[in-house]
Amino acid sequence: MRLCLISLDVAPVRSSGLAVYAERLAERLVAGGHEVTMVAARRPGTLPRTVTAGMVVERVAIGRSDWIGYGWHAARHVAQQHARQPFDFVHFLDVHFAWAYRGPFVASLLQSFHQRLTADNGQPYASSVANRAFRRVYYTTAMHLLERPTLYRARALVSLSEATRQEFVTHYGLSERAIALTPESVDTDYFAPQPVARVEPLRQQLGLQGCRVLLYVGFSNPRKGLEYLVAGLDALPDDVRLVIVGQWDAAYRQKVIEAAGGAWNRVVEVGSVPDALMPVYYALADLVVLPSLLEGFGLPALEALACGTPLVATRAGSLPEVIGPCGLLVSPRDTPALVEAISSLLADPTRRAALSVAARARACSHFSAERAYESIMNVYNASGG
C-alpha cells in the first residue's frame, strides 16, 4: 500500500507523545512492506523533504495558529500529492489536523476538546486564571467549528484506548462500531530491564547516590498534573528525589515550582533525553509517577511497564487500561492519595519486585508490535481505500 501519515511533529522534533506514536506506526508499516510518506510541520532546523528509516518525510508550513494553520497547509499538500500519485490511505494521526481536508481519510482519536474543557474538576486545565479563561473559549470554539464536523467526515476512526473510544461515543454521538480499537505497542527488546553497570553511572551523574527515585516522563503542560505531585514531596521521606524528563510549557513550570515551595530542591530536571538513554532512566527509578489530569494513551506508562518499573498514576483517561494491575491508581488532583500510594510502595520492596515482574509480562503480552500492526491493517482493509 501507498500510505500518507499526517502528524504535527516527527523526529528530530517531538513536541508531544504524538510524534513517538507517529514514528512507531510508520516503522511498523514500513516493516510490513508498505510505502510511507509522513507529513509534518516544518520547524527551525528541519528540511522540507528527507528520507529516513525507509519513509519519506515532507514538512509543510505551520503558521501562527499552530495545529489550525498546520491543518490547512497539510490538507493542501496532501491533496496536491494525492492528485499526482494517489495514496491508498490518508491517515491523520490526530483527527484535529484533518479539519481542512476534503478527501477520504482515516483519523486517530487521542483527546477530545470536551475532555480538555472538563479535565480539571469540570474546568479546563490551565497554568493561570487568565489561561483558563482563554482555554475555555478556545476549546469550545474548536470543538463546535472544527472537531465535530471533522469527526463525521472521516471514513474510519481509530482509538488507542477504550476510554478514549467511550469519550467520543458518550459526548459526540458516535457509535462504538464506528471507532476501531488499535492499541499502541512497545519494543520490549529496546525498553527492557537494564544491568546495574548502565544505571549506576547515570545515578552518579545526577547526584542520586543513596536516594530513592521517582521518575516523571513527558511534555510538562497543565494537563499533566505535576503540581499535585510536587506539593506532596515534603511529606515523603528525605531520601526521595523526583527526576523530571522532558520539555516544559514555560508558564506551567512556574506554577509547578510555586506548588513545590521549599521541596523544589528535591527535583532534578534533565530536559530532553536521547532515545538510547530512556531505558536507563526507567531502570534508575524505583517508581514512575504519572499524576495526569488527562491521557489519551500514556506512552511513558507503557515504556515503564516494558522496563519492569512499577507505577503510581491517576485514573485519568487510558492510564488504568495501560497499567492494569502493575501499579497503584489514585484519583486525579489528590495529593494525599499520591503521597500514600508512593509511600506504601517505597516501603515495600517485595511488592515492588512482584509488580516489576508483572509489569514486564504485561508489556510483552498485551502490547506487541504484531498486534498493533494487525489492528491498524484491519482498519485499512475494512475501509476500502
- The reported pLDDT for the residue numbered 151 is 97
What cell was used for 69? 494553520
Q: Tell me which residue of 242, 286, 236 sits closest to 265, measured CA to CA.
A: 242
User: What pLDDT, on the 0 to 100 scale, is given for residue 176?
Assistant: 94
211, 169: one domain: no
Q: Which residue spans within the chain are E strands per DSSP? A: 2-6, 35-41, 49-52, 55-60, 89-92, 106-109, 156-159, 179-181, 212-217, 240-245, 267-271, 287-290, 311-314, 327-330
Of 60, 55, 97, residue with least CA distance to 77: 60
pLDDT recorded at residue 296: 86
pTM: 0.93
204 and 284 belong to one structural domain = yes
DSSP string covering 276-312: GGHHHHHHH-SEEEE--S--SS-HHHHHHHHTT--EE
The per-residue pLDDT string of the chain (385 residues; one tens digit each, 9 = 90 and over) reads: 999 999 999 988 888 888 999 999 999 999 999 999 999 999 998 999 999 878 999 999 997 888 999 999 999 999 999 999 999 999 999 999 999 999 999 999 999 999 999 999 999 999 999 999 999 999 999 999 999 999 999 999 999 999 999 999 999 999 999 999 998 999 999 999 999 999 999 999 999 999 999 999 999 999 999 999 999 999 999 999 999 999 999 999 999 999 999 999 999 999 999 999 999 999 999 999 999 999 988 899 999 999 999 999 999 999 999 999 999 999 999 999 999 999 999 999 999 999 999 999 999 999 988 889 999 999 999 987 5
Same domain, 32 and 179: yes
H, E, C per residue of 102-161 = CCCCEEEECCCHHHHHHCECCECCCCCHHHHHHHHHHHHHHHHHHHHHHHHHCCEEEECC
Query: Are 226 and 315 within one domain?
Result: yes
CATH number (domain holding residue 65): 3.40.50.2000
Quote the cell numbers at residue 316: 485519568
Same domain, 266 and 357: yes
Please tell me whether residues 81 and 214 are part of one structural domain: no
Q: How far is CA 59 from CA 13, 54, 93, 206, in A?
A: 11, 16, 15, 36
Structure confidence at residue 13 (pLDDT):
87
Q: pLDDT at position 385, please?
A: 57
* 63 and 158 co-located in one domain: yes
**Side-chain-facing half-sphere of 87: CA atoms under 13 Å:** 25
Same domain, 203 and 133: no
In a domain, residue 37? The reply is yes
pLDDT at position 52, please? 83
pLDDT for 383: 84
Whether 191 is in a domain gets the answer no
Residues 212 and 149 in one domain: no
Amino acid in the structure at residue 363: A
Q: Are residues 354 and 272 in the same domain?
A: yes
What's residue 197's pLDDT?
Answer: 96
158, β-bridge pairs = 108, 180
Per the structure block, which three cell numbers stand in for 44? 527551525
Residue 178 in domain: yes
Please state, as a whole number, how many other Cβ atoms lie within 10 Å of the Cβ of residue 75: 23
Is residue 79 domain-resident?
yes
Number of folded domains that form the chain: 2
Q: Looking at the structure, tell me whether residues 38 and 110 fall in a common domain.
A: yes
CA 282 to CA 45: how far, in whole Å? Answer: 30
Task: Please indicate, yes or no, if residue 27 is contained in any of the structural domains.
Answer: yes
Question: Domain range spanning residue 213?
Answer: 196-366
Question: Within this chain, do residues 167 and 220 fall inside the same structural domain, yes or no?
Answer: no
